Amino acid sequence: MRISVEINGREHEGDVEPRTLLSDFIRHQAGLAGTKVGCEQGVCGACTVQLDGQPVRSCLMLAVQADGRKLRTVEGLSANGELHPLQRAFNEAHALQCGFCTPGFLMSMEAFLREHPEARDEELREALAGNLCRCTGYLGIIEAVEHAARKLRGADVQGG
Amino acid sequence: MARAAGGGLVKPAPFEYRAPASVDEALELLGLDSTVLAGGQSLLPMLNLRLARPEVVVDINGLAELDHIRDEDGRLRIGAMTRQAALERSELVGQRWPLLHKAVRLVGHTQIRSRGTVGGSVSHADPAAELPAALIALDARLELRSAEGSRWVAASDFFLGPLYTVREPDELLVEIEVPALPEGAGTGFAEHARTHGDFATAGAAAVVAPGGHTRIALLGAGPVPARAGEGERALAEGANAREAAAAATAEVENDYRRALCGELARRAIEEASA
């Protein structure tokens, strides 16, 4: 089946079988390998992308279901060569080691912070629960997200 | 990973994909060889693991007529394709049917609720799912439609066993109807999951209203979510939350599960009675 998906503002067309997963279309046909594939059963969150602004598991969608829709992947986060504040915070707070889970965390939390700019402590931890990390022990990730949340709210990061 | 003839990586076994444009068209496609694809948050893992190998996948995501939340003469009508995230965000639901709001927040993770649907969760019939238990406690009814016609089934009669319901292969769950809560009713929902967003080990939903209206529904306590009649009667007859919870869970098998269900039922009843 011929499909056309807008990813990060650019149209990507391709022929797919109905059983082709969206995650595989993104990686192998659109050539955007930033989106990672971990468990392929909706548990790990590594393949999280944004569908019309909402975070979704791309391994739990068929590519044909994204025909005509707008996707955003980790490649669409930075702008004009500048890292997104969330990406910068991950870097600064040592929120990654191997980095495999990072794109999923970023796409989940970018959507979450956009919708819940005032979220604090427990809410942030709850929002992080849909992504697994086997390296960091999460403390760096929590710190990074809290840091980015403050920055996105426009608060004084140093004083925060 | 298998590599298909076309060169793309694939995991699910091949199937014929149909995306009907109307409910009537969808009903024509339903049968023994077909599977309905709603939000896909349970079906896709089963396809990826090849635990499910349907010949035809009927994708009902294009059926806008099944995506609505509305108040109809005081009764809540939820289209089966309503996303769990939409239920969670609905002010109408939050204000008038708070039990559904409490339950849906515990379904999977945000990323799952973006896609997962209310009808899908009900039809999938996992014994530990939140929405079925909440709908049972709310006396909800479900509309099943086939090419032959339509029938309404009480949520409490819908579930037959794990992943097994009264829905026939040629039927589609199209609508969920929830009556208004009785005047002055309180609701409570409690569950235990090892980590937030995981399937619950067990849980309880409760509705308590003046005049003896009591509903207690358990999830994860047996093969199907079900009302706990003994507990409801005890509560209506003046038992306190602890006594009613004990009565509600006396028949639960396995000491740990019984103790857990009892404690969760007590919390749900106390929240509903507060």
What would the pLDDT profile of A39-74 be if each residue is shown by its tens digit?
Answer: 999 999 999 999 999 999 999 999 999 999 999 999
The DSSP call for residue B112 is H
Cα–Cα distances in angstroms (integers) from residue B94 to residues A68, B132, B201, in the given order? 32, 17, 25
Scanning every residue of chain A, which has its alpha carbon at the shortest distance from the alpha carbon of B38?
A61
d(CA B160, nearest CA chain A) in Å: 26
Classify A96 as helix, strand or coil: coil
Which residues in B lie closer than 8 A to residue A54 (C-beta atoms)? 85, 114
Length of chain B: 274
Per-residue pLDDT, B3:
53
Q: What angle do CA B194, B115, B222 make, to 5 degrees?
A: 40
The DSSP call for residue A131 is S
Cβ within 8 Å of residue B180, ≥6 positions away: B74, B75, B76, B96
Predicted complex: ipTM over 0.90 = yes
Look at residue A158 and tell me whether its pLDDT is greater than 60. no
Per-residue pLDDT, A159:
41
Report, as ranges of residue numbers, the positions in chain B whose pLDDT lies below 50. Answer: 1, 5-7
- Is some CB atom of chain A closer than 8 A to the CB atom of B57? yes
Q: What is the mean pLDDT of residues A91-119?
A: 96
H or E element at residue B140: none
Q: Enumerate domains of chain A plus CATH numbers.
A: 2-76 (3.10.20.30), 85-153 (1.10.150.120)
The DSSP bridge pattern shows strands A10-15 and A2-7 to be: antiparallel
pLDDT in tens, A3-33: 999 999 999 999 999 999 999 999 999 999 9
Q: What are B98's two structure tokens?
A: 């708070």
Domain B186-273, second-level architecture: 2-Layer Sandwich (3.30)
- Is some CB atom of chain A closer than 8 A to the CB atom of B4? yes
Q: What is the mean pLDDT of residues A86-115?
A: 97
**Looking at the DSSP assignment, which residues form a beta bridge with residue A50?**
A55, A72
Q: What are B107's two structure tokens?
A: 């379904």
Which CATH code fits B14-59? 3.30.43.10
The residue extents of the domains of chain B are 14-59, 69-178, 186-273
- CA–chain centroid gap for B263, Å, is 22
What is B69-178's CATH topology?
3.30.465
Q: What are A120's two structure tokens?
A: 């604090």
CB-nearest to A45 from B57, B85, B111 is B111
Give A154's pLDDT tier (boundaries 50, 70, 90).
confident
